Amino acid sequence: MTAPKDWQELAQIVQGQRILVERVRITEKDIAIDGSFELPQLARLSMDDQIFITAFVRSHGSIKEMERIFGVSYPTIKSRLTRIANSLEFVETNPTPSKSEILERLQRGEISAEDAIREMETLK
């Protein structure tokens, strides 16, 4: 098989499956990095979904604008957003701290003993 010519062709070949990239090259600096890299989740979406998400971001999340751009109804836009969202793994942006993290924050004086107790109780 010949190498894909562009990102769209690669996306069609893999059809949303996970890809492991083993070499990255920065063309302007002629630097190559060998390793094992997973593509970001958004790069694994189909080209149509990538275009849809790009339009959503460019329209500042306006579903009304998305209706106008794609010529479809509100429920259609919401349904597609839900389908895409369900296909993505969300990273916890405010993870629950461990007991040792709570105790370290208490020791550094960042939280009170009462706060530490309250946080410890939520871990149970």
pTM recorded for the entire structure: 0.60
Check whether 5 has a pLDDT greater than 70.
no
Q: Where do the domains of the chain lie? A: 1-44
Check whether 55 has a pLDDT greater than 70.
yes
CA-closest candidate to residue 33, choices 23, 41, 44, 47: 23
- Residue 13 banded pLDDT, cuts 50, 70, 90: confident
- Residue 113 banded pLDDT, cuts 50, 70, 90: very high
Give the pLDDT confidence of 21-32 residue by residue, as tens digits: 888 888 899 899
The answer to whether residues 123 and 99 touch, using CB atoms and an 8 Å cutoff, is yes
Distance CA 7, CA 11 (A): 6
pLDDT value of residue 24: 86
